[in-house]
Structures are given as structure tokens and as C-alpha cells.
Structure 1
């Protein structure tokens, strides 16, 4: 759990905007061949993953994550005061910037709603009254938007966890996400294997739900260990 920080004298400008990356050259935006066996090998994926926190200096917290042609950057601003109104709990807004040109409005909305729902369940909202937290998702590169966008969503969720912690925002637990390639489904977990988010596109995913949960729970253990190791290493 992150410690609470007095932000009254550390507020950035109200009109602060996240760092915007230029689109990658076209050759980097081409689809990468999908290897189904690699998509189920979470330990191998973790070894191929590059993560870095705190790169965006004008944000309260940020993270950068790259895996298999997927590159995302997350920046978090706040908690910062909401002028002209009083709310007992902090409000959360999620915005997505697509540098690939591959997202449509529906996909953009799905990503933002999923991330918002995930983190409304773990941020200690009552700790920051009359405040707002803004999360900016920057999609820099996508492995395969048609078949693997839910894998990308799981990476965005994990990167958001790191950015929120980097911002010093108090949370009750880490949100870790797992993608099941076979059933095209992503699930997000917190402690005691409690599910805080689920999104699937497979027609028979409901019939296989228990199998999907068992599979993604095992993956989430490895993801949580990797995120925890990263957080410990960066705090030293």
C-alpha cells in the first residue's frame, strides 16, 4: 500500500498534458506473426517485457511498458483539487490517445471503461476528497489490433498499476491482469484472487469460464511477482 502524500504544495499546473509520442514508422506498425504457444507462456513473456517508471517528469506518476510489439505509456495526474464543487471521494477519469491510428471509438471506450472500473475498486477514494485523478493512456504500438487487442488491454492495466503507485496514490492492492489467448479473454485480479475486471470476445467464453479463471489466476501470480520485483528494485 502506498503512503499518503500531502499534495497541497506539489500540485502541477491544472492544464498539464501527458507527453505525446510521435507515430512509429510504418514498418514498425505491421502485424507480427502470432505464436499461440508463446501467448500462453507467461514466464517467457515476462522475460521479454521491458518496464520503466517515472519517465514523464511533469506527471505525478508514469510508466512505460513494451512487449512483443506492444508499446504503451501511462501518465497519472493528481489527486488535484476540483474547483467549484465538493465530492466526498475522488473522481477518476481515463483518457486514451492512439498514436497507431488503429483504434475506433468503440475500442477506445472499452479500454477506458475497463481501466476505470479496475481502479475505482482499489484506489482509496475517500482519502482524497474534493479531488480528481486523471489517467492518460498513450498507445504507441500494437502487435495485432484484430486478434490481440485484449492482450494489449492487459498490458495497459498492468502499466496503469505501476503509474498509480509511482504517483504515490494509496491503493488497497495491486491490480494484475492476465490474457487467455485461446479464449480471447482478459481478467484482472486483486488479493485472494478477487476478480475486478473481465472482458471476453470468444462466443463460448462463458461456457469455459471456470477454465479461463483457473488459467488466468495462475498467470496472474507470475505477473504479480514480476510487478512486485520491479517495484522493489525501483524503490531501492
Structure 2
């Protein structure tokens, strides 16, 4: 008699939590003895970045992005006819859903989307609606699905960049690449592309009126309208002057990521053309 249980492995209950979560761990400092970050980066150094397109064969456009240990996969479907019963609009509509894999965090995530995932989906939808040329898709809907395979900090920024790359791969008309990045304030210094440990360390601090702390996440189109920002999310206590300085640093970081995104798409197109030419010759 066939069952859904794997008898070859000892499985725990669905809501089980690893014992390592309850172990007392020595809190490491935010910076090492040499003044560098725990992973050896300076304040303005991002994590290693890898991106690729065309990984989901069933999707019209797809992308995969690694930002350090943060891993995100994105699939774009459509444009397709709007289902009956939805609000009628002459412009196109965007449906975006962000899901975090159950194994993406130390504590297992429920398959059902929680408040954080629903909020990320809403933020992504607003960002994508400003980058897609919706007037070219009347009475149509574009579906964007994002899966966070591993969350090690900067998940929203990684989702923004992955979605922008997948839209271009899907041949959807956009105003420009959509690029995301995060800047964190700690101890009066701005740190680019924080890891999950750095985000949690900063959130554990108790700030007063004399101290500042927080982080800023933006999604922008670097070459459209001299760098138009489509999403800006700031949390914490930061002065207006430091916020402007952090925004300038985030914009500079987006320009660097934009170069890699463009190169990734160009390499994919060159490879596709080479494969097509080889098939034609044969």
C-alpha cells in the first residue's frame, strides 16, 4: 500500500524547529578587530553577485540571482487576457507574488504566505507597475512570481533586481532595467548591501534621539529620466542629510549592478544567436 511518507528517513513534524535555534550563541561584534565587516568587506563593498536568465523553460521570462548567500528565482508569465470578474482597465495589470521557501530561513517558514511576504508582494507590484509600459498591454495581465530560496539579507533588493532582469528576458516592454539595493546605517557609518546578521544586529540596538540607525532599500531605473526611483523604503531613525547621502550611495551601487545586469542579458542574447546560427548551418 503506497503512502506519502518516506520510510527511509526519520521525519520530524512540520512545525519542528532545529535545536540549534535554542542554543546560546556568543554575540559577535558588528565589526572585526581590523575595523572590517565580519565577512571581510569594507563599508562600500557589496557581496559577490551572480545572475542568469532562462532557467525556467515553462516561463516566458525567468532569472536567477545570488547576492552573497541570498538566492532568488523569478518567473514571468504573460501578457494574457484578464480573467472575468476583474476590474476592466485599458492599460495592462501586474500580478506579483513573493514567496519564501520553507527552508529559506533558520526557522522553517510556513507554506502559507505571512505578513512579511504579503508586504513584499505589494511593494514589488508597485515597483513593477512603474517600470512596465502598461499602455502597450491593454486588457492584459502580466504575472510575476518570485521565490526566495535563501534569505541572508537584502531579500527585497534581490527580488527587485531579479524581477527587472526576468521582465527583459520575457521581452516585456519596460522603460529601463529595474535595479534594487540596500544601505544600512550603524555607528554613524553607511554600509552597502548588508547581510542578514548585520540587519539583525542593527535592529537589536536601542537608538535614542542622539543616535541614528536603520536601513534604506530602493528600486530604480538608472538610465530612465536621469535615474528614476520606482520604490523607496526607509526604516529606522535617520536625519534628512544622512538620508540624502545614503540615497546617493544607493544610486551609485545601482549603477554598478546595472552594468552586470546588462552584460548578463547581452551574453544570453549572443549565445542564443550563436546556437541559432549553428542549427541553421547544420
* SS class of match (2:146): strand
Return the match for 1:210 from 228, 236, 244. Answer: 244
Gaps of 5+ in 1: 1-25
Instruction: Check the 8 A contact 2:73/2:149 in 1, yes or no.
Output: yes
TM-score normalised by length of structure 1: 0.76
Q: Using CA pairs under 8 Å that are at least 6 residues apart, name the structure with larger relative contact order, 1 or 2.
A: 1
How far residue 235 of structure 1 moved from its aligned partner, in angstroms, is: 1.0
Are positions 1:198 and 2:232 aligned together? Answer: yes
Gaps of 5+ in 2: 1-16, 22-27, 31-36, 186-213, 271-282
* SS class of match (1:196): strand
Which string of whole-angstrom CA distances, capped at 9 and with x for unpartnered residues, describes residues 108-129 of structure 1? 1221122111111110101011
State the alpha-carbon separation in 2 of the partners of residues 220 and 64 from structure 1: 18
1:224 corresponds in structure 2 to 258
State the alpha-carbon separation in 2 of the partners of residues 89 and 39 from structure 1: 45
Return the match for 2:172 from 169, 173, 194. Answer: 169
2:99 corresponds in structure 1 to 97
* SS class of match (1:134): strand
State the alpha-carbon separation in 1 of the partners of residues 159 and 239 from structure 2: 22
Instruction: Check the 8 A contact 1:40/1:181 in 2, yes or no.
Output: no
Instruction: Check the 8 A contact 1:90/1:125 in 2, yes or no.
Output: yes
State the alpha-carbon separation in 1 of the partners of residues 216 and 42 from structure 2: 12
* SS class of match (2:252): helix
Instruction: Check the 8 A contact 2:182/2:215 in 1, yes or no.
Output: yes
How far residue 204 of structure 1 moved from its aligned partner, in angstroms, is: 1.9
Return structure 1 stretches of 4+ with deviation > 4 angstroms.
none
CA spacing shift, 1:201–1:73, aligned 2, 3 Å: same
- After superposition, the CA RMSD in angstroms is 2.5
Which string of whole-angstrom CA distances, capped at 9 and with x for unpartnered residues, describes residues 158-211 of structure 1? 000011111110001111112102241111221212211111222226552211
